[in-house]
């Protein structure tokens, strides 16, 4: 019984305090908020350690059981150890792992940046291929989407201005008028949904996080 | 095609994706390889961001938040450099802060590179707070006292030993916060720092995020918006220092044109096939 009631009580008390301190940031509530934020920062820091622990265990399990793609786990361990060792060595040697001459920064610049950039750059190819297949004027709705997409794609690059100097203005109008109304509605909807879910959590109606 | 006889026009709707990849690769690569540039026209959203910084008196403090990593670097790093050039040119003080741990070295590299160009001194004209976990908690606590979250700078030097930090304690001492965003931190800056502390904000975001940030601009919650590589190129033009943003714009322009042509070809193929199936 206590297994459920204690977490519910902690959620209720914390939630109510945070809401009060948001609207009354003066003593004693302001101080409470600062303390709560400090705890949050500390807990957040530990979640990163938890993430590392979870990742290391996951790949260890995969290696031990020789699961499909197990050799990717070796690459993970290689990357993890390389970052860890070079980070510590650079910190000791230069007093700062981010020193431009450090081995940590060498691997960061020559491995991590190109890998991350490549992964992101691949999107351009997939988007081009997906646009070619998906943007078909099958009905009136799809045609509107297609025409709008083409206008915005052209209006957001200099070649659009070269084709027709008013195209960037038309693009701005689409973004500021046609797009903004629905977008604002979606944002208000999300905010109301967040408030409702927060209230359900604080009042103990929503309890799925306990299981 | 199961022995079906399809016309040339119908084949246009079934182009092998490898051809699409090849053409996109070429239109992106050639402008970068040959340094082709295009004339960039400044949009009101970017002009507004520029004017906000341009109006600041000498010695004002600009905080730049690096909320991206290498994946968004091609879009956001040119923005960072252009904004830093603007700030240093106007003798504004710059504080860098990081909410993405993997963005920390990228931001630091950009800062050091541009500071060197302008002969700026660390701790006097600029500094880097580094990274702290906690996102919203860090933002809110900085509203009371930066030192309650950052005891030292990126190298661990106590903040009070840096001359420029002596009179900087919270958002009251910071003229503008510029958030360079590849994720949700921009929303937090608006919802917590602008709403609560009335802090002036400028957001620089990836192109794919720009549409979602326009409501903040129209509502006056942010003073300016720099969207994607185009935004970076526009800012480069405003600070009169064309760099990677301008080169990238040529690639992006021709890539967009290529995608539109593929969409047109796809639709021609689609309509021809539909016509044949209807027996027309």
Is residue B1 predicted with pLDDT exceeding 50? no
| Closest residue, chain B, to A111 (C-alpha) | B70
pLDDT band per the 50, 70, 90 thresholds, residue A1: low
Is residue A193 predicted with pLDDT exceeding 80? yes
Q: Is there a contact between B259 and A128 if contact means CB atoms under 8 Å apart? A: yes
Say if pTM beats, i.e. exceeds, 0.90. Answer: no
Alpha-carbon distance A14 to nearest alpha carbon in chain B (angstroms)? 14
Mean pLDDT, residues A173-189 taken together: 89
Among A11-15, A90-94, A125-129, B88-92, the range with the most confident prediction by mean pLDDT is B88-92
Which of chain A's residues have a Cβ under 8 Å away from the Cβ of B75? none
Class of the CATH-defined domain B44-241: alpha beta
Which of B203, B220, B48, B214 has the alpha carbon at shortest distance from A178?
B214
ipTM > 0.90 (yes/no): no
Average pLDDT of chain B is: 92
Give the residue with greater pLDDT, A138 vs B5: A138
pLDDT band per the 50, 70, 90 thresholds, residue B135: confident
The structural domains of chain B, with segments of one domain joined by +, span 8-37+250-277, 44-241
Report the pLDDT value the prediction gives residue B280, as an integer from 0 to 100. Answer: 61
Among A24-38, A92-106, B193-207, the range with the most confident prediction by mean pLDDT is B193-207
Indicate which of A50, A98, A109, A148 best probes the interface with B, i.e. most B CBs within 10 Å of its own CB: A98
Q: d(Cα B165, Cα B151) in Å, to the nearest integer?
A: 12
Mean pLDDT, residues B196-216 taken together: 92
Is residue A78 predicted with pLDDT exceeding 50? yes
Parallel/antiparallel/unpaired status of strands B201-205 and B93-98: unpaired
Which of chain B's residues have a Cβ under 8 Å away from the Cβ of A108? 105
Mean pLDDT, residues A78-95 taken together: 90
Mean pLDDT, residues A140-167 taken together: 91
Is residue B215 predicted with pLDDT exceeding 70? yes
Using CB atoms, pick whichever of B38, B71, B104 lies closest to residue A116: B71
Give residues with Cβ within 8 angstroms of A178, minimum separation 6. A148
């Amino acid at each position: 019984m206590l297994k459920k009631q204690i977490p519910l009580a902690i959620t209720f008390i914390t939630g109510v305090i945070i809401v009060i301190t948001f609207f009354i940031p003066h003593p004693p509530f302001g101080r409470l908020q600062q303390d709560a934020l400090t705890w949050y920062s500390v807990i957040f820091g530990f979640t990163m350690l938890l993430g590392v622990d979870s990742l290391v265990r996951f790949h260890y399990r995969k290696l031990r059981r020789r699961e499909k793609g197990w050799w990717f786990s070796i690459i993970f361990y290689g990357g993890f150890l390389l970052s860890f060792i070079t980070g510590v060595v650079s910190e000791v040697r230069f007093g700062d792992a981010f020193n431009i001459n450090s081995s940590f920064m060498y691997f960061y610049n020559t491995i991590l940046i190109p890998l991350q950039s490549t992964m992101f750059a691949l999107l351009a190819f997939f988007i081009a291929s997906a646009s070619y297949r998906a943007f078909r004027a099958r009905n009136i709705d799809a045609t509107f989407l297609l025409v709008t997409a083409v206008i915005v794609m052209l209006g957001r690059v200099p070649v659009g201005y070269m084709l027709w100097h008013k195209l960037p203005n038309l693009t701005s109008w689409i973004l500021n008028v046609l797009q903004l109304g629905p977008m604002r509605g979606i944002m208000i909807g999300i905010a109301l949904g967040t408030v409702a879910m927060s209230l359900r959590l604080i009042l103990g109606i929503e309890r799925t996080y306990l299981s | 095609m199961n022995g079906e006889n399809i016309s040339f026009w119908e084949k246009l709707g079934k182009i092998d994706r490898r051809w699409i990849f090849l053409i996109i690769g070429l239109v992106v690569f050639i402008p970068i390889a040959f340094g082709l540039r295009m004339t960039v026209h400044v949009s009101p959203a970017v002009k507004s961001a520029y004017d906000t910084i341009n109006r600041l008196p000498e010695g004002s403090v600009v905080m730049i938040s690096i909320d991206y990593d290498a994946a968004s670097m091609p879009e956001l790093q040119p923005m960072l450099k252009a904004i830093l050039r603007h700030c240093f040119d106007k003798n504004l003080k710059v504080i860098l802060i990081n909410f993405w741990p993997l963005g920390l070295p990228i931001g630091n590299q950009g800062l050091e590179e541009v500071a060197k160009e302008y002969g700026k001194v660390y701790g006097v004209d600029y500094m880097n707070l580094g990274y702290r976990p906690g996102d919203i908690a860090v933002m809110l606590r900085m509203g009371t006292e930066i030192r309650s979250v950052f005891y030292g700078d990126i190298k661990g030097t106590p903040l009070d030993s840096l001359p420029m930090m002596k009179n900087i304690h919270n958002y009251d001492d910071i003229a503008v916060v510029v958030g360079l965003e590849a994720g949700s931190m921009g929303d937090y800056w608006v919802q917590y720092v602008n709403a609560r502390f009335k802090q002036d904000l400028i957001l620089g975001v990836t192109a794919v995020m720009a549409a979602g940030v326009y409501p903040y601009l129209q509502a006056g919650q942010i003073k300016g918006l720099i969207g994607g590589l185009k935004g970076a190129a526009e800012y480069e033009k405003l600070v009169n220092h064309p760099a990677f943003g301008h080169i990238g714009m040529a690639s992006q322009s021709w890539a967009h044109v290529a995608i539109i042509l593929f969409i047109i070809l796809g639709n021609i193929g689609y309509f021809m096939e539909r016509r044949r199936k209807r027996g027309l």
